[in-house]
Structure 1
Amino acid sequence: MHRWTDEQKLYIREIAQGRYNSEIADLVNARFGTEISEGQIKNFKANHKIKSDLPKRRRTIPQSLLSDEQAEFVIRHVRGLSNLELTNLVNETFNLNLTSKQIKTWKQNHGLSSGLRGSEGHAPPNKGTKGLYNVGGNRTSFKKGQPALNYKPVGSERIDRDGYTLIKVSDEGPWHKRWRHKHKVVWEEKHGSIPKGHVILFADQNKRNIDPDNLILIKQSQLSVLNKKGLLHNDAELTRTGIILADIYRKIGQSKRKLSNSKR
């Protein structure tokens, strides 16, 4: 269980308005170097009666979590793979953003087991082999150096459930290290790493427009004001003007606070 600091609590209250839980989690993780999940943000908001005042998202994953095709795929490949490995395989094959916890729960609900030692208590039936286990032999097992049939090379792109473009940047490491938001990659290639406490804004609010000229580096505090004051526009120039106004609003707020403190 994550222990929230006072600074994190205050920050979530400041940025929650007008944002989905996944977006809040991204901002919190970027600022504090944490690995907060969307679910943890949802629970925190519920416990502290914080609302974002947004319409419910249209689900991009079927109500039953997996479609018939996806369910059949999991059943065929469940043996010999850990929950994380299976989740990564499903995500890459069907362009999903499922978590290993979701896959684990789905397996339990459908009486499926990987056959691995550990929490499920069985030795893997394909111990000593490479690749995926299939009933009837190892015809689909991977030979050394042979890529998986669903392998996507570095540079491949996909759209996540929030509408952002993801690009594969590496074949190594966990899923979230191999796939990154393309707009961040594009900005960093031109300007360097994104400073702590900053985010990349789409000037015209179009998440598919990843032209470098449409990407603006701003402080998270600026983004908070932009959202609160309704200063984000589909017109890129109006958004740029809004950023200037946001700085003015921030300075006015700071001046008022100083004046108020001096009167105490």
Structure 2
Amino acid sequence: MKGKPIKWPDECVDFLRAWCPFFLDKELAAILSADWDMNIDRRILNAFRLRKGIKTGRTGYFHTAENPGYVPPKGSHLSPATEFKKGMKPHNTAAVGTKVKDADGYWKQKIAEPDKWEYIHRMIWEEAHGKLDRQVPVVFLNQNKDDLRLENLMAITRGDLVTLNHTMKLSTDAEINKTMIITAKLKSAIFGATTHVSGKK
């Protein structure tokens, strides 16, 4: 449910134009919330400011008249013992062969430097059946993403996947799901053939 639209007083625009160069959006949001009882945060104020074309005037760079403080000479080394050197890697860099789970629960493996990963279930399927187009999904027949056995994997088209999602509900039974996927493939093929014939008329 969306919240109530915020009513911005007319004087807010003048206030923001005057004070944006001197305060951060977070600070201005706090001021407006306190003085105008508006209950806004930095993101809301930033969006409103951009809609009104109000710029802060800050670039993030030091200008000629400003003193940025100490600037180390070009080529100097402030901490030779701890700085990164050419060819060094961060301490948390994963080694080739490392296996991890992504946010969706799929296992992937680092296969090359500097940061090339591949999903393990796809690697297993392709090793047995050949290279797959990147757009072709490989599904787990028993819905268990930890079960990486070849017999638990099946490649299907996105059209088949759409048919499954609309007309069938996969279970945790691999054999039942395999039958449903084959049925979905047949339905997709029939639909494709019918569409092709209709297009010729």
Q: Which has the higher contact order (CA 8 A, sep 6+)?
A: 1
Task: Give the Å deviation of 1:120.
Answer: 6.2
* Pair 1:155 & 2:97 matched: yes
| Cα distance in structure 1, aligned partners of 2:73 and 2:197 | 71
1:181-200 to 2 correspondences below 5 Å: 181-195=119-133, 197-200=135-138
| Cα distance in structure 2, aligned partners of 1:171 and 1:154 | 7
1:227-242 to 2 correspondences below 5 Å: 227-242=165-180
Which of 208, 212, 237 aligns to 2:146? It is 208
**Taking every aligned residue pair, what percent have the same amino acid on both sides?**
32
SS in structure 1 of the partner of residue 97 of structure 2: coil
Q: What is the match of residue 81 of structure 2?
A: 139
- CA 237–261 in structure 1, closer or farther in 2 if over 3 Å, else same: same
| Cα distance in structure 2, aligned partners of 1:197 and 1:181 | 13
Task: Give the Å deviation of 1:231.
Answer: 4.0
| Cα distance in structure 1, aligned partners of 2:138 and 2:126 | 10
Task: Give the Å deviation of 1:250.
Answer: 2.6
| Cα distance in structure 2, aligned partners of 1:180 and 1:167 | 6
Question: TM-score of the superposition, structure 1-length normalised?
Answer: 0.42
- The amino acid across from 1:209 in the alignment is D
Greater helix content: 1
Instruction: Write out per-residue CA displacement over residues 165-193 of structure 1, whole angstroms, 9 at most, x where no aligned residue.
Output: 12111113xx4xx1222211222222221
SS in structure 2 of the partner of residue 240 of structure 1: helix
Which of 109, 132, 137 aligns to 1:167? It is 109
- CA 147–197 in structure 1, closer or farther in 2 if over 3 Å, else same: closer
Instruction: Write out per-residue CA displacement over residues 1-22 of structure 1, whole angstroms, 9 at most, x where no aligned residue.
Output: xxxxxxxxxxxxxxxxxxxxxx
SS in structure 2 of the partner of residue 168 of structure 1: strand
1:89-108 to 2 correspondences below 5 Å: none
In 2, are the aligned partners of 1:164 and 1:207 still within 8 Å (CA)? yes
Task: Give the Å deviation of 1:197.
Answer: 4.6
Instruction: Write out per-residue CA displacement over residues 15-55 of structure 1, whole angstroms, 9 at most, x where no aligned residue.
Output: xxxxxxxxxxxxxxxxxxxxxxxxxxxxxxxxxxxxxxxxx
| Cα distance in structure 1, aligned partners of 2:81 and 2:134 | 49
Q: What is the match of residue 67 of structure 1?
A: none
Question: TM-score of the superposition, structure 2-length normalised?
Answer: 0.54
5+ residue gaps, structure 1, are 1-118, 131-135
| Cα distance in structure 1, aligned partners of 2:89 and 2:171 | 44
Q: Please, what is the CA RMSD of the aligned residues?
A: 3.6
5+ residue gaps, structure 2, are 1-58, 63-70
SS in structure 1 of the partner of residue 137 of structure 2: strand
Higher radius of gyration, 1 or 2:
2
| Cα distance in structure 2, aligned partners of 1:129 and 1:205 | 57
